[in-house]
Amino acid sequence: MACETNTLLIFPLLFVAACYMQQCVYGKSQMPCLFIFGDSLSDSGNNNNLVTLSKVNYKPYGIDFPTGPTGRFSNGLTSIDILAQLLGFEDFIPPFANTMGSNILKGVNYASGSAGIRNETGKHLGADIDLGFQLQNHKTIIARFAIMLGGAQQASQYLNECLYYVNIGSNDYINNYFLPQFYSTSRVYSPNQYAQDLIGRLSQSIKILHNAGARKMVIVGPGPIGCTPNAIATHGSCIQEQNAAALIFSSKLKSLVDRLNRKFTGSKFIFRNSTTDFYASIKRFRVSNAACCRLVLNSLCALQQTPCENRNEYMFWDGFHPTSAANKLTALRSYNSSNPDFVYPMNVQHLIQS
Ligand SMILES: *[C@@H]1O[C@H](CO)[C@@H](O)[C@H](O)[C@H]1NC(C)=O
Ligand SMILES: *[C@@H]1O[C@H](CO)[C@@H](O)[C@H](O)[C@H]1NC(C)=O
Ligand SMILES: *[C@@H]1O[C@H](CO)[C@@H](O)[C@H](O)[C@H]1NC(C)=O
């Protein structure tokens, strides 16, 4: 019962610690629903049926996932999978591309590998579902909610209680700005202007979500995109120019979140800094500059190749994406940031303590 009343509070994330102590983390989630917008860090299968090089529904992806390859860009769970578990969701949030057999009232995952805030981002790899399209898909789901809940008003009230997770923007750098052979943006914009352009677009998207009932939102800034195994393999060390560009975007994103909190006083927007997470995690892994699997073009894992065995010692699974061990740290840190009294479960304490 205590858990149920939590959903009435402005931002239930802040109150789950008490609930955790009462062990109701299992079986009852802290909010009724979770919607996920983003890129390959969160994708759970939306690209599987698209014509694109950016899909991973093959082995060795998913080697540590209960059902094998699913389209997740990791060996096991993504950080939002783990965060959802911590929040008490019993099932994974279904990908929009396949909600068959799932209760969409618990939320939907719209994230798509190679997708960006700008609609041309990543398209040299093939099709993807850019942020604008993800919002369109959310509209489709909202229409179904109205039917399921008996009207637009009821749907809107229900949508107010959901958590919205937005983690997008890295591809606008990795798969756009820093690929001048495919995209002209770096000739048109300075890093500062480009970040401003992305923030303008993202701000519009967030306002669309707010109009569609979103009141609790976690907005995740990019990590050091110049320190992926891909960047290190092609450049010899971290590409500081890319890290610097991502930091400009991240700092403007933080300001945007501050502005949104001032403007929409009945809503709560939380900024997460992935760069902080990266440097907190890197110390925990023996290998942080190379991938666990054998790569094609320093990017994705080669088909059917046997990956490293000691996956908990690797920060990166492939050329761009963290192992599920690294995702676990990110999720736990994210969870703890809203519940400082949170006690890490026994099975991850060895990852947390140095
Ligand atoms: C991409 O976005 C621009 C506006 O920034 C719009 O004019 C264009 O039609 C969009 N293209 C597609 C394919 O959606
Ligand atoms: C994010 O974290 C990095 C590393 O700790 C820091 O340099 C940067 O200023 C932070 N960005 C924001 C917007 O807080
Ligand atoms: C959780 O976060 C708080 C505040 O940042 C920190 O003091 C505490 O040590 C963290 N708890 C654990 C278990 O890491």
Residue 321 appears among annotated catalytic residues: yes
Quick check: is 271 in a domain? yes
160: its two tokens: 């107010």
Residues 6+ apart with CB under 8 A from 13: 30, 31, 87, 163, 216, 270, 338, 339
Could you confirm whether 40 is annotated as catalytic?
yes
pLDDT tens for the chain, 354 residues: list them. Answer: 333 333 333 344 433 433 343 333 445 788 999 999 999 999 999 999 999 999 999 999 999 999 999 999 999 999 999 999 999 999 999 999 999 989 999 999 999 999 999 999 999 999 999 999 999 999 999 999 999 999 999 999 999 999 999 999 999 999 999 999 999 999 999 999 999 999 999 999 999 999 999 999 999 999 999 999 999 999 999 999 999 999 999 999 999 999 999 999 999 999 999 999 999 999 999 999 999 999 999 999 999 999 999 999 999 999 999 999 999 999 999 998 877 777 877 776 766 654
pTM of the model: 0.91
- The CA distance from 125 to 192, in Å, is 26
Closest CA to 109 of 91, 126, 97: 97
Instruction: Please state whether the peptide bond connecting residue 224 to the residue before it is cis, i.e. omega within 30 degrees of 0.
Output: no
In the prediction, which pLDDT does 344 show?
A: 78
At residue 342, the pLDDT reads 77
Any idea what the CATH number is for the domain that residue 262 is in? 3.40.50.1110
- For residue 52, being part of any structural domain is answered with yes
Q: List the Cα angle 152/84/349 in 5-degree steps.
A: 165
Q: How far is the CA of 335 from the centre of ligand 3 (A)?
A: 10
- As to burial, measured by CB atoms within 10 angstroms (0-12 exposed, 13-18 middle, 19+ buried), residue 124 is middle
11 part of a folded domain: yes
- The amino acid occupying position 181 is Q
Ligand 3 pocket test, candidate residues 13, 335, 342, 343, most atoms within 8 A of CB? 342
Q: Which ligand is nearest to the CA of 335?
A: 3
User: Which pair of tokens denotes residue 19?
Assistant: 């609930």
What is the structure's pLDDT at 331? 95
Choose, from 318, 324, 334, 338, the residue flagged as catalytic.
318
Asked if residue 45 belongs to a domain, the reply is: yes
Residue with structure tokens 């989630």? 29
Q: Which domain holds residue 102?
A: 7-353
Asked, for residue 87, whether it belongs to a domain, the answer is yes
Assess if residue 1 is contained within a domain: no
Say how many C-beta atoms besides its own lie within 10 A of residue 119's C-beta. 14
Per-position DSSP letters for 127-187, written without gaps between them: ----HHHHHHHHHHHHHHHHHHHTSHHHHHHHHHTSEEEEE--HHHIIIIIT-TTT--HHH
Burial (Cβ within 10 Å: 0-12, 13-18, ≥19) of residue 8: exposed
Number of domains into which the chain is organized: 1
Measured CA to CA, the distance from residue 327 to residue 334 in angstroms comes to: 10
Instruction: Report how far ligand 2's centroid is from the alpha carbon of 254 (Å).
Output: 9
CA of 211 to the centre of ligand 1 (A): 22
Residue 353's pLDDT is: 58
Whether the Cβ atoms of residue 38 and residue 166 lie closer than 8 Å to each other? yes
128 φ, ψ to 5°?
-155, 175
Any long-range contacts for 20-28 (C-beta under 8 Å, 24+ apart)? 20/339, 20/342, 20/343, 24/88, 25/86, 25/88, 26/88, 26/90, 27/88, 27/90, 28/3, 28/4, 28/88
* Burial of residue 224 (number of CB atoms within 10 Å: 0-12, 13-18, 19+): buried
Judge whether 2 lies within some domain: no
Q: Is residue 152 part of a domain?
A: yes
Nearest CA residue ID for atom 8, ligand 2: 247
Q: Whose CA is nearest to atom 5 of ligand 2?
A: 276
pLDDT of residue 343: 80
Residue 241, both tokens = 């120019």
Cβ(131)–Cβ(59) under 8 Å?
no
Among the options 29, 39, 40, 299, which is catalytic?
40
pLDDT at 265: 94
